[in-house]
Structure 1
Amino acid sequence: MSTQETVREPDLSAFLASRPTASSVDFVVDSIKELLLGKKVLPGDRLPPETELCRLLSVSRGSVREAMKILSALGIVEVRRGDGTYISTGSGEVMFDPLLFSMIVSQPEFAELKELRVILEKNVVRLAVLHAADDDLAALCECVEKTRALKDKEEKNYDELLALDLEFHAILGRAGKNRPLETIYRFVMQYFRPYIAQSLTKHSNFSHESCDVHRKILEAVERRDVATAEKAVEESLEVWESLVFKP
């Protein structure tokens, strides 16, 4: 960061206050989350020093330090040595997503997962049809062409095919220009990652069929045709489901 760049340091004294809690660490974590939800702190803001947070929240330095470790692991804050603790500005991958964990332990049925993906993906493609820019369409096209070239090789690289499959959906999510939906869609697709990998390695025709339905989605988005895009999504999921349960 440039020394000339102004860092926002909001006065949080009016928003942070001590109160009884079963865990001081959880209390600190929840307090920072509440500040974010209430937009009292914004991405890029520098949090008060450790001693100030201790005073405002009436907790120990150890509790603040442990809370910052948790928030850092969740990707909420970024600790910069010698400079302070900042609210993160990116939405990249974190060490472990607690929402992903809660979804894993809930052990949803495949039918429930399919319904979730249908709901999300139809809305994603609908927004992509409405808002995709030329560079989004170019990126989708390039991804489909890379997949086509890779699937035609005699020696399949399943890791690359999996990466391209997920990349297609990531680009589709960005094309809709709705960041909350993009984030949720990216999360859900990460959950489906093992299913996609299984289909790729177990069924040699999956990469061909996946590429074909991706091409149909791309063409529908290019034509700004919502109905055809949604139909292509349904076809994509039917193909995928049949291969998941095919021996």
Structure 2
Amino acid sequence: MVAGLDTVAPIERQSVAEQVAKKLMELVRTGSLKPGDQLPPERELAQILQVSRPSVREALRGLQILGVVKMRQGGGVYVTALEASDLLAPLQFLLELNAPTVDALHEARILVEGTIAGLAAERIDAASRTRLHALLAVQRGLLRDPVGFRVSDMEFHRVIYTASGNPFLERVGGSFFVLGMEYRRIASETPGVLERSFADHEAILAALDARDAVAASEAMRRHMTSVYETTLAAMEKVR
């Protein structure tokens, strides 16, 4: 045997179902299949791809688990809206099962959201600032309503992501937010946590109003640290 080949992993053969799934994913990636598009019936799809119906069925089942397609009542397979909440559901499930990864998630959020807030301070427009002030006014009345506050919290951060003017950071920030939602749900039920988040939001908005990138970035990082600390404390209580 040639030296070193004994340590090389064998080449893995892809199943037909995996090949079908990859072809469909490529169609989505290139825009040939768009959100809301209905896929051909299983039989027709099998004929087009020259594979068996069971292989198509297995591929579609896998893509459904990944949040790329969904089965609608009454028949039909459709491309999802491809929102972060759909595509990150499997990873969110893994995070729920592996709580220590919350450390890495919040480390990433501190870095990304701090940068986003700094850019937003420089680029935010009047309409976005008006929207954020309106959201804070709503949040003030939701300090005893964890569900309502979480909804407004998501919108507050979404507006800031968009205000950064960077679509890539906007998508990454939104994805991280979705991944942290389950942990945040636990924390938001704890007395005093919503008040702490609201105070953080006020500080962030003050920095955005002042167009102070450094202050906005620091305020957002403090907020992320607060989220991390209160989340860990809440998780300890439910163990």
Q: Normalising by structure 1, what TM-score?
A: 0.71
Aligned to 2:154: 166
In 1, are the aligned partners of 2:116 and 2:217 still within 8 Å (CA)?
Answer: no
Tell me the secondary structure at the aligned position of residue 220 of structure 1. Answer: helix
* CA displacement at 1:232 relative to structure 2: 0.3
For residue 41 of structure 1, what is the amino acid of its counterpart? S
Tell me the secondary structure at the aligned position of residue 150 of structure 1. Answer: coil
User: Which residue, out of 28, 33, 41, partners 2:32?
Assistant: 41
Give, in whole Å, the separation in 2 of the partners of 1:172 and 1:186: 10
Name whichever structure is richer in helix by fraction: 2
Give, in whole Å, the separation in 2 of the partners of 1:91 and 1:230: 26
My pick for the range that moved more, 210-219 or 128-137, is 128-137
Give, in whole Å, the separation in 2 of the partners of 1:207 and 1:163: 12
User: Which residue, out of 174, 179, 187, partners 1:199?
Assistant: 187
For residue 59 of structure 1, what is the amino acid of its counterpart? V
Q: Normalising by structure 2, what TM-score?
A: 0.73
Tell me the secondary structure at the aligned position of residue 59 of structure 1. Answer: coil
Give, in whole Å, the separation in 2 of the partners of 1:145 and 1:164: 10
Unpaired segments of 5 or more residues in structure 1? 1-19
Percent identity of equivalent pairs: 27
Aligned to 1:8: none
5 Å-filtered alignment, 1:76-225, equals 76-77=68-69, 87-88=79-80, 91=83, 93-94=85-86, 97-105=89-97, 107-151=99-143, 156-204=144-192, 206-225=193-212
Encode CA deviations 1:84-142: one digit per residue, 9 max, x unaligned.
Answer: 76645552643872232344455434442331110121122133224333332222211
5 Å-filtered alignment, 1:28-67, equals 28-37=20-29, 39=30, 41-43=32-34, 50-51=42-43, 53-67=45-59
* CA displacement at 1:235 relative to structure 2: 1.9
Considering Cα pairs closer than 8 Å and 6+ residues apart, tell me whether 1 or 2 has the greater RCO: 2
Cα 1:93/1:235, change in 2 over 3 Å? closer
Aligned to 1:10: none
Cα 1:208/1:88, change in 2 over 3 Å? closer
For residue 113 of structure 2, what is the amino acid of its counterpart? E
Aligned residues: 222
Aligned to 1:13: none
Query: RMSD over aligned Cα, in angstroms?
Result: 3.4
Tell me the secondary structure at the aligned position of residue 86 of structure 2. Answer: coil
Tell me the secondary structure at the aligned position of residue 43 of structure 1. Answer: coil
* CA displacement at 1:208 relative to structure 2: 2.0
Give, in whole Å, the separation in 2 of the partners of 1:173 and 1:82: 38
For residue 229 of structure 1, what is the amino acid of its counterpart? A
Give, in whole Å, the separation in 2 of the partners of 1:217 and 1:69: 43
Give, in whole Å, the separation in 2 of the partners of 1:240 and 1:106: 18
* CA displacement at 1:198 relative to structure 2: 3.2
